[in-house]
Structure 1
């Protein structure tokens, strides 16, 4: 049996903060309200409730250095009340927000930070969890999936044993050790469990890589990739999504939104697949962390591929979804 780990990076939008042309968008960038109904977090929690799925929400906490602790608190309460897992997500850009000169470059890569900056970032995140009354995180995800070896050492210092910060198709590290597609890997004093990576096509002899996401992968493609991963012996299949993927935003302020019907259908179909397939179960990072701590191998080295017809169907569907508001 394989465990599906549905992970949701749950974060505020900086909006026009760093350009000087607007303000951060807080709860609306997560709730995504349209006509009095939440099509972001609310839609996800309703879907999980209907299908019995559990998810891990990687909650961004570095924003508290600029926005304080209260803005995210309703989101925390909603997720906890629904019985889901909460782990730590950090975007270092927020540490530079106060006093930032509009238009100047902003570093949003944990991999580019020094030891002092990383400690400040993790202190900020762990303090936010204490203020919110959330258990100390057992897992961490780097903003933009930009991860480095010093980050693993620093998270271990803060008693966070697990990372899920690698997605090669989203960000390819310069460090060959961090080019991982799946499995459970020891890096320094920490464990890395990547977002599932797979090959979707080869062009001119070059392999094109994808990571398993809601917005990037079609339903038939996702089903095929998961079933091939199970057949290859993968025990942990990590999928990535965000609350804002279930709406289409037509401005930076999240004031003009429409429903992303394609992505909402994809999440429902994923949860139905997990509920109906006896080879699959759903798990969380809190549940799996003790098991990973005892793991002695990284898992099978198989390369997962997607069937070309499902890839082409997804390419067409995504193109139509991007082009037409009503699609």
Structure 2
């Protein structure tokens, strides 16, 4: 491998909230915003503020896919605050959409409901995308060029609708979730960016952790050793990019009342950031706005199989997560 090769890393944060508080309509999601976006706990905040500070400390770039449909239900204030915080930190806001908000009245003209965009016809998907885009526009995000469906629930009609709306990149394809959550259909698995209906599909990276089983590269789903090893393998293979997934609430245990920090995932996050910084000669974190709209057509050439983790790093993850559940 040439020493000149640098692997693009898209460190993506799905930034979203969901109404768990009984009075969420009356208080306009204040408690849910504090928990899911700001990661508020008695020990401090571990949400987007913590993530943004950590990225800045390490000189890394990140992409925040910000769910914006909720603002049609409870008002624009929390969305404006979220976008402003991300933009002022020098990071990128892109489009994210959870259609579950339809049942709460985010788009009155749509009667159906569902967790996945593929449960809606193409025309209704486009309506939802337009509403979400308009909400981001009201927050100063006027030209997003990338999208990720909530729950990875896009299908081929979603991609066509994105093309009609001028969105250049989609990052909803998640191979381990095909047939259950993700409805994008392709002739073969996507390992690197490829053109789909005029949109560049940038797949979420995944790997084989044991024969016949695949796992996506999400912070709470992989050990630090797994992620570091997979990044090195991708660099050695000459991959164009790796897409890592996390969430605004991933560093806390939000199912606890009140929420508490999740030390295991916080440690993974810190280790991954340190690793990317220490190996800046091999990896560069990027925003979608830095990727050329017309990527080379042979990005996947010679990359026929998914990445593979080592037995040792996977065993470490299984042990860590088993112990973490006991805490």
Q: TM-score, normalised by structure 1?
A: 0.88
For residues 106 and 167 of structure 2, the distance between their equivalents in structure 1, rounded to whole angstroms, comes to 30
Deviates more, 1:34-43 or 1:66-75: 34-43
Deviations 1:96-148 (A, max 9, x none): 21399xxxx94011122112211211111110121001132100001101121
For residues 155 and 176 of structure 1, the distance between their equivalents in structure 2, rounded to whole angstroms, comes to 16
How does 1:181-260 map onto structure 2 within 5 Å? 181-202=190-211, 207-251=212-256, 255-260=257-262
Match of 1:319 in 2: 322
Deviation, structure 1 residue 150: 0.6
Structure 2 residue corresponding to 1:280, chosen from 277, 280, 283 = 283
Deviation, structure 1 residue 184: 0.8
Query: Is the 1:180–1:194 Cα contact (8 Å) retained in structure 2?
Result: no
How does 1:1-327 map onto structure 2 within 5 Å? 1-15=6-20, 25-35=32-42, 37-98=44-105, 106-172=113-179, 173=182, 176-177=185-186, 180-202=189-211, 207-251=212-256, 255-277=257-279, 278-288=281-291, 291-299=292-300, 300-324=303-327
For residues 156 and 275 of structure 1, the distance between their equivalents in structure 2, rounded to whole angstroms, comes to 35
- Alignment partner of 2:307: what SS? coil
Deviation, structure 1 residue 78: 0.9
Deviates more, 1:177-186 or 1:81-90: 177-186
Deviations 1:288-315 (A, max 9, x none): 1xx2523222423232100011101101
- Alignment partner of 1:169: what SS? helix
Query: Is the 1:27–1:75 Cα contact (8 Å) retained in structure 2?
Result: no
What residue ranges of structure 1 are gaps of 5+ in the alignment? none
Deviation, structure 1 residue 181: 4.3
For residues 127 and 13 of structure 1, the distance between their equivalents in structure 2, rounded to whole angstroms, comes to 20
Deviation, structure 1 residue 215: 0.2
Deviations 1:260-290 (A, max 9, x none): 11111111111111111121111111111xx
Match of 2:3 in 1: none
Deviation, structure 1 residue 174: 5.7
For residues 285 and 135 of structure 1, the distance between their equivalents in structure 2, rounded to whole angstroms, comes to 15
For residues 274 and 284 of structure 2, the distance between their equivalents in structure 1, rounded to whole angstroms, comes to 11
Q: How many residues of Structure 1 are paired with residues of Structure 2 in the alignment?
A: 308
CA RMSD, 1 decimal: 2.3
Deviates more, 1:90-99 or 1:241-250: 90-99
For the structure 1 residues 178 and 58, does the alpha-carbon distance in structure 2 shift closer, same or farther, using more than 3 Å as the test? farther
Q: TM-score, normalised by structure 2?
A: 0.88
Deviation, structure 1 residue 219: 0.6
Deviation, structure 1 residue 87: 0.3
What residue ranges of structure 2 are gaps of 5+ in the alignment? 1-5
Query: Is the 1:197–1:211 Cα contact (8 Å) retained in structure 2?
Result: yes
For residues 275 and 99 of structure 1, the distance between their equivalents in structure 2, rounded to whole angstroms, comes to 41
Deviation, structure 1 residue 28: 2.8
For the structure 1 residues 313 and 294, does the alpha-carbon distance in structure 2 shift closer, same or farther, using more than 3 Å as the test? closer
Deviates more, 1:255-264 or 1:177-186: 177-186
